[in-house]
Chains A and B, each alone.
Chain A
Amino acid sequence: MATGSIWGINGAVIHVLPEKNTGEFFISERVCIGEKQLAGEVVSLRRGASGEMAVVQVYESTSGLRPNEKVYGTGQPLSICLAPVWVGHIFDGIGRQLDKVQNGSVPGEKKWAVRLLVKEGDYVPEGGIFAEVTETQAITYRAMLPPYISGKIRAVAKNGMYTIDENLIEIEGAGAFPLKQDYPVRTSRPVRERLPLIQPLITGQRVIDSLFPIAKGGVAAMPGGFGTGKTMTQHQLTKWCDADLIVYIGCGERGNEMAQVLEEFAQLTDPRTGASMLARTILIANTSDMPVAAREASIYTGLAVAEGYCSMGYHVAVMADSTSRWAEALREISGRLQEMPAEEGYPAYLASRLAAFYQRAGYFENRNGTRGSITIIGAVSPQGADFSEPVTVNTKRFVRCFWALDRRLAYGRHFPAINWNDSYSDYVSAVLPANVIENRRRILEILTEEGRILEIAKLVGTQDLPQAQQEILHVAKIIRETFLQQNAYNAADAYTPFAKQVEMLDALSSLIAKGGAL
């Protein structure tokens, strides 16, 4: 394995001189740094005046690190360990568990009740499922072969108690496989086929489901200035959306928000399964006081875990709050690497990284024949609430659903502060029934009309408006206050089943018709 010694240190970035006659460092290799054995990853390799140099981003504080301390390659890319340990727990940006079970056994030693699903002589397809474990009340963990391995079973273990490392089956010519599977975080998991997106992800949030819906496997971005409700909306979706599993990535946001999810979700019951809300939630936390390099990695860690569960046949929704902090982490590292910046100091590869991120969403037929999906919902925190800044602009190119949060609505305590003029969804025709599409059209028309009339009323007051216009204002107000606004703090209002939304839309629509407004 490659070995080297530290030459330079600049914040989260260190330069390493490789030693002769050891192995070679490679891009994305996970490395171990110094006496304190800090975790890091090789991000670039260069040959310069001072010889060959490996540039490493460090996932922990570099305070106290010295030149000449040793750096060891692990021979492995930065990876996650897929095992029945993720659901209901919280991890840092590179997948280390934060809520270590106190006084309990380490995950490596714990034994799981494993049910084998195959027998000797069976043929298992690529990425095939061969065993399962009840991970939580809501999620069954399915042990799979790696995505490119298939074959005939030579030997298989009996149902019983096993650690995640103990081999369960042996495949002819391919070796033996345990419950766990290591998978690199920066490579997307191969699938058999991408399927069209035709099923809605029902969130219970009226303005989303009925006006700007998202499909299972779709991508949405939610930009908004501070305090406009990005986190609240993502928490709402995490609680109520009809995915099987949620991966919530707190990327460079507040520690208290993660503490809140942990406290609140442990007490909430999921109406669909009767289990705790935590039983279908995985939390990845790189809070804003944690090292910035791990912020960059947290997004990939979250996606890799999501892909793991997706290939077990689950519908997974990924919440990333906030993608802007991830982009800023890229910018900071890029600055320390002295790369040439593009706009506002962001590296030129910002757009391609964003594209690659959102591309990992989809509705898939997995290589093992199961079907699953990954829906990505990214919060964007535009500097100065200015939607023309680089992260928002580039995100807009790759998402198909845009929920624009509006500071004016938020100041007026209209929540969710999703602006109906600036938001859009490309999934409307694919996921909504025809009658809903028609009602949606009418409602949006009334709201646009209202905007126009209010401009006039600002100058003349509402007193002197013609009757028909007064009527429209009246109906629009009802639409805004009873349908668009939804109070997350009110237990009865926080979630509206889709069937109920359809009824409400019908009622509003007939109100519009009665007023003769359209």
Chain B
Amino acid sequence: MNISKPPLRHEYLNTREIRGSLVILEGVQNAAYDEIVTINGKTGRVIEISGDKVIILVFDGTQAFTLADTRTRFTGQLMKMPLSVEMLGRTFNGAGLPMDSMGALPTNEWREINGTVINPVQRVYPRFPVQTGFSAIDGMATLVRGQKLPIFSADGLPHNELAARLAVNAQTVVFAAMGVSVDTMQFFQEAFDENNARSRAVLFINLASDPPAERLITPRLALTAAEYLAFTHGHDVLVILTDMTAYVEALREISSARGEIPGRKGYPGYLYSELASLYERAGCIKGKGGSVTQIPILTMPGDDITHPIADLTGYSTEGQIVLDRQLHRQHIFPPVAVLPSLSRLMKDGIGEGKTHAVHADTANRLFAAYAKVADARALLSIIGEEDMTEEDQKILQFGERFETELIHHTAGEVRTFAQTIEVGLALLAGL
């Protein structure tokens, strides 16, 4: 969408203040809200207008800017990006510029990166399962095509390993890294290369050393690319967003620079809406092939699931896969804590013809049995195994086997839905 009035080709010099990523200009006529500006050759966006005063958020940092010589030009455009199927196989930075040596994307198709509100009437409720190959997910919290299912992780847990395995198995992947280290970036690049998945993937990479403000656009670029591949070209696209925690930290930084009144723990009051505006861009649309499935990854500060980042993500996504430090210490991979994990769309995505005829029943029985394991273990540490009832002892054994045989996968081991259910039934038979 072009903004109706043509831009003035005028360069503004009257900068009043430069603070963090924010630049405040005075004497501006005719700026539009959300308009993109170029400022000393960098890109920024209008985030507030009061009379002739305009606040601009500069995405790629304000280093070396001076009050006297900061030149701002209004483009008359909202933020857009070029799109083409030739994005597949390419790597872009967090602002959407090519990081590889293949040059600009040849295309005439440009779209706004904020997406449009999806009328719920146009949505198709997601009903088809995705086989990830991991029993803890496929069996107990099945991922459904078009779902948004985050991974709740923490520092030192193998969320990247898990994400890489999920990514290389997908038909089409859009990968957005926000505030990641160079190691992490290389890890993912190698994972894609080793599995010959590079040509099926589009990468957007904002490194920890890149400006925080750029992080706010990285996921939007990724989602716009995903929507294009899914709804224009019919791909089933898996979007991996990592690390949402870095995204939210950047948001908080900018909010506090603007002097906004914070909500809980210093995070902006609109954090929920902000996260939801990303997460809602998953799904299936009537009359269009393709789908956008999202796996956002977040590291919970202090392993705390009630921390606003995890909490507000849980409130806006369709379940969560929670990783557990205890299981990780026991070398269980993937260390999925089954009880707090949940796929809300599972019920309609499983069963005869989709996964397995007895999937729902088996999963329910496994849950019920595994839910008793924690109590039995607590008891074990107090009264010892001999004094426990036979039933409690069986529960203990079940717990061990559930973790080592069902949750755990040896390197490269992939199970089909049928194999997962078989393992589950075998464990239940031991009760």
Contacts and interface: CB of A to CB of B under 8 A. Distances in A.
Q: Do A and B bind each other?
A: yes
Interface stretch (B32-40, B82-90, B98-106): B32-40
B378 A458 contact: yes
Contacts of B306: 383-386
B124 interface: yes
A269 B207 CA distance: 54
B411 interface: no
Nearest to A67: B49
Interface stretch (B63-71, B167-175, B258-266): B258-266
A40 to B, nearest CB: 14
Contact of A255 (B120, B264, B367): B120
Interface in A19-52: 35, 50
Contacts of B340: 411
A256 B126 contact: yes
B308 A227 contact: no
Contact of B318 (A61, A68, A99, A254): A254
B277 A66 contact: no
A260 interface: yes
Contacts of B281: 289
Interface string A328-350: 10011001000001001100000
Interface in A240-297: 250, 252, 254-256, 258-260, 262-263, 285, 287-292
A332 to B, nearest CB: 5
Interface string A1-15: 000000111100001
B3 A64 contact: yes
Given A289-B117, A344-B263, A458-B378, A67 B280 contact: no
Contacts of A411: 339-340, 371
A413 B119 CA distance: 32
Nearest to B5: A66
A312 B367 CA distance: 48
Given A331-B263, A341-B261, A384-B311, A292 B280 contact: no
Contact of A226 (B5, B31, B314, B371): B314
Contacts of A413: 364, 367-368, 371
A256 B283 contact: yes
Nearest to B34: A63
Contacts of A460: 382-383
A381 interface: yes
B249 to A, nearest CB: 18
A15 B50 CA distance: 8
A463 interface: yes
Interface stretch (B9-17, B130-138, B385-393, B423-431): B385-393
A323 to B, nearest CB: 13
A8 B277 contact: no
B383 A328 contact: no
Contact of B272 (A99, A252, A259, A291): A252
Nearest to A66: B32
A50 B51 contact: yes
A341 B263 CA distance: 10
B384 to A, nearest CB: 10
A285 B120 contact: yes
A67 B389 contact: no
Given A64-B3, A344-B263, A289 B118 contact: yes
Contacts of B277: 288-289
A148 interface: no
Interface in A202-226: 225-226
A345 B269 CA distance: 7
A161 B59 CA distance: 60
B90 to A, nearest CB: 27
B48 interface: yes
A448 interface: no
A411 B368 CA distance: 10
B315 A259 contact: no
Nearest to B46: A9
Given A67-B31, A259-B123, A262-B121, A463 B387 contact: yes
A65 interface: yes
Contacts of B178: none
Which of A61, A64, A260, A459 gathers most chain B CB within 10 Å?
A: A64
A99 B121 contact: yes
Contact of A328 (B3, B49, B269, B342): B269
A281 to B, nearest CB: 14
A254 B262 CA distance: 24
A332 B280 CA distance: 19
A255 B276 CA distance: 10
Nearest to B76: A64
A516 interface: no
Interface string A354-387: 0000000000000000000000000001011110
B114 interface: yes
Contact of B33 (A9, A226, A260, A328): A9
Interface in A407-446: 411-413
B383 to A, nearest CB: 5
A90 interface: yes
B46 to A, nearest CB: 9
A62 interface: yes
Contacts of B280: 254-255, 287-289
A252 B32 CA distance: 27
Contacts of A344: 263-264
Which of B117, B269, B279, B306 gathers most chain A CB within 10 Å?
A: B269
Contacts of B311: 225-226, 383-385
Contact of A461 (B260, B263, B392): B392
B344 interface: yes
B347 interface: yes
Contact of A67 (B3, B51, B114, B379): B51
A98 interface: yes
Contact of A335 (B50, B261, B272, B320): B261
Contacts of A381: 315
Contacts of A9: 33, 48-49
A68 B28 CA distance: 12
B272 A328 contact: yes
Interface string B310-348: 011011101110000000000000000001101011010
Contacts of A288: 272-273, 276-277, 279-280, 316
A64 B120 contact: no
Contacts of A137: none
B276 A252 contact: yes
A332 B273 contact: yes
A239 interface: no
Interface string B361-399: 000100110010001001100110001110010000000
Which of B276, B314, B383 gathers most chain A CB within 10 Å?
A: B276
Given A259-B125, A413-B371, A254 B316 contact: yes
A254 B120 CA distance: 9
B107 interface: no
B187 interface: no
Contacts of A142: none
Instruction: Give 10 closest A-B pairs by Cβ, nearest first.
Output: A288-B276, A384-B306, A226-B314, A258-B120, A289-B280, A8-B50, A63-B34, A259-B123, A9-B33, A345-B263
6 contacts: A66-B5, A67-B31, A68-B30, A328-B269, A331-B263, A345-B263
Given A64-B1, A386-B306, 12 more contacts: A66-B3, A255-B123, A256-B345, A258-B123, A263-B125, A288-B273, A292-B273, A332-B270, A411-B371, A413-B371, A459-B382, A463-B388
Interface of A: 7-10, 15, 35, 50, 61-68, 90, 98-99, 225-227, 250, 252, 254-256, 258-260, 262-263, 285, 287-292, 325, 328, 331-332, 335, 341, 344-345, 381, 383-386, 389, 411-413, 458-463, 489
Interface of B: 1, 3-5, 29-35, 48-52, 78, 114-115, 117-121, 123-126, 260-264, 269-270, 272-273, 276-277, 279-281, 283, 306-308, 311-312, 314-316, 318-320, 339-340, 342, 344-345, 347, 364, 367-368, 371, 375, 378-379, 382-383, 387-389, 392
